[in-house]
Amino acid sequence: MTDAAGALKQAMTVIEGAIGAALVDYNSGMALATLDGPGGFDLNVAAAGNTDVVRAKMRTMDMLGLGDGIEDILITLSSQYHLIRPLTGRSGKGLFLYLALDKGRANLAMARHQLTKIEADLEV
């Protein structure tokens, strides 16, 4: 099992093209842990903004009566991928992993695969 800081460090070192990672509480919008790399954007601002994305999607799914869970949310920019992965374990309820990737260096399929593995080992 890995703690939050260890999980973010693993994401930044194992996932090719990672430029920032955070563990976020989507009830409060607060980043519980952050780790940035080359790119230097404010991960606390990203955490708060992406909290709105997660809340909106969950609210929409509820209004539609979808009894499914969110595996991940992908936002593509011209030069970056942003992955949002709500945690599914009991101890991670109300949390999500956020990962920003350099689109030119990242392999999206591998990044999603690695983030799934990191989530499985995360203990919060």
pLDDT digits (tens, 9 = 90+) for 9-53: 999 999 999 999 999 999 999 999 999 877 678 999 999 999 999
Q: Rg of the chain's alpha carbons, rounded to an integer?
A: 14
Rounded CA-CA distance 33/54 in Å is 18
**0.95 surpassed by pTM:** no
Q: State the CB neighbour count (10 A cutoff) for residue 24.
A: 28
* Spatial contact of 24 and 86, defined as CB atoms under 8 Å apart: no
